[in-house]
Structure 1
Amino acid sequence: MTEDELKGKAKQAEGKTKEAGGKVQGKAKEAEGKAQEEWGKLKKKF
């Protein structure tokens, strides 16, 4: 492999890592929103 090929593969891997990180962060925010929604429902009951 040439140096350019290695750099390209490294950039590709970096992009995939950022994409996966973004998905995890999105799911965490979604779960947090659902938890707050449930908490709001519980507070109304009491």
Structure 2
Amino acid sequence: FDFVAGIFGGVDALGSRIIYSIVGIAGIYSISLLFREAPAAE
């Protein structure tokens, strides 16, 4: 079941596309976090 499409009225609805875009951008950002160095502990 596609929860986002169920709430916003289908996969092609504007609301669904906005949510899918936000999730995609968040995923790309989280991948960039894998390549950052951890802050130095004191």
TM-score (norm 1): 0.52
Bigger Rg, structure 1 or 2: 1
Residues 3-42 of structure 1 correspond to what in structure 2 (within 5 A)? 3-25=14-36, 29=37
Gaps of 5+ in 2: 1-11
Gaps of 5+ in 1: 31-46
The two structures, once aligned, show a CA RMSD in angstroms of 1.7
TM-score (norm 2): 0.57
Q: May I ask how many residue pairs the two structures share in their alignment?
A: 28
Q: Which runs of 4+ in 1 moved over 4 A?
A: none
